[in-house]
Amino acid sequence: MASHKIILGITGGIAAYKAAELTRLLIKNDFDVQIVMTESASHFITPLTFQALSGKEVLTNLWKSNASNGMSHIELSRDYDLIVIAPASANFLAKLTHGFADDLLSSLCLARVCPIAVAPSMNMHMWTNKATQRNVSQLKKDGVLFCGPDSGEQACGDIGFGRMMDTEELLKSIQNHLTPKILKNKKILITSGGTIEMIDDVRGITNLSSGNMGAAIANTANSMGASVTLITSKYQNFSENINVIYASNAHTMYDAVLQHIKDQDIFISVAAVSDYKPKEKFKGKLKKDSLNLTLQLTPTIDILKEVGLSKNKIFKVGFAAESENLIENAQKKMKAKNLDLIVANLIHESVSLEDTKVSIIDKNNVIDLPKSNKIIAAKAILKEIAHRINADK
């Protein structure tokens, strides 16, 4: 069952093509999406495109009702969590402001019982026009959520505000609006990404961790209301109010953890920290003078174990990537490192992949999650953490 049901309204504008990518992202992230298009929108992109992406009939006509009583414009919004208008043209913002209901999309917006969000898209001069700004001001007073617009080069060649928000950022705004704030007032410290231990100035020992699971947990925790500090080795797309600290190797990551762990409520170690490092780093670049090279390796510091055995009163969560005996090995790791919870996965089912299949393990239970993308897995993991923290409280 999808986590949320939304109506995606598409109005006439060159940015209508971006709505196709937004539809794909929404469905990928477990949304049930019903597309409603204005007649103008269908001149920019065909309803058939969205039918293929959403797997549902695209609704366009106020007079062609699928409702048994002919009241689809009223019934449509009853079972949905949010209406998103993307792109929202200047004309449609004016309709919303003044309560016009001359097509299916404007009618269901007027008859809605759920919240509405708009992603404006128009020429910069249309956006800054006093009439548009009056409409925007009134809509905000009416509780309409605005996502953007962004500034940049426009289809007409002008440069300024009016571009529709980037689809990935828009997805985050939608997720943030719909996500229950079950981690509100909680401080979470997260480590993420595969570290690298340098051999010389250009080569290093690392692993295949993409950092995507850590990024998903950080962004989702932020949308759940937590104050998030992320220590990561990867440059990725993070929510802007996450405190991001970059640490490339085990030593710098450990120092950053020590510096920021005080007063945190939760520590989640998602990072794939290198277990070994060269005993000595060579200066410059090693030349390929011979066929063989011998490296002496020494263990790196075990960050998770150090935190687990410390006296910090913090809820500790680790990750275990195993090649065999998944549950048994994960339980041993959880006990050895004094963790409250561990998330385990088989390497071939998660590492460097877009989807993942994990098990959430505590001292008494094993919860096997179905295979899903990492955003959905992150939601499930954080819900389990919140449940345990609230239960303990």
Active site residues: 156
CA distances in angstroms from 120 to 90, 92, 110, 126, 170, listed in the order given: 7, 9, 18, 11, 11
- In what side-by-side order are the strands of the sheet with 366-368? 243-246, 227-232, 187-192, 266-269, 315-322, 341-346, 359-361, 366-368
331: closest CA among 361, 287, 358? 361
Q: In this structure, what is the dihedral angle of CA atoms 313, 315, 321, 322, given to the nearest 10 degrees? A: 80
Cα–Cα distance measured from residue 105 to residue 102, given in angstroms and rounded to the nearest whole number:
8
Q: Is 143 helix (H, G, I), strand (E, B) or coil?
A: coil
- Alpha carbons within 13 angstroms on the beta-carbon side of residue 162 total 22
Cα–Cα distance measured from residue 323 to residue 330, given in angstroms and rounded to the nearest whole number:
11
Evaluate the omega torsion of the peptide bond into residue 87 and state whether it is cis, within 30 degrees of 0.
Answer: yes
Yes or no: say if 144 and 120 are a contact pair by the CB < 8 Å rule: no
Cα–Cα distance measured from residue 311 to residue 180, given in angstroms and rounded to the nearest whole number:
31
Instruction: Find all residues with CB under 8 Å of 332, minimum gap 6, and list them.
Output: none
Yes or no: say if 319 and 269 are a contact pair by the CB < 8 Å rule: yes
CA distances in angstroms from 125 to 87, 139, 336, listed in the order given: 17, 19, 63
Yes or no: say if 113 and 78 are a contact pair by the CB < 8 Å rule: yes
Yes or no: say if 84 and 8 are a contact pair by the CB < 8 Å rule: yes
Cα 8 to chain center, whole Å? 19
Cα–Cα distance measured from residue 107 to residue 85, given in angstroms and rounded to the nearest whole number:
13
Cα–Cα distance measured from residue 191 to residue 30, given in angstroms and rounded to the nearest whole number:
25
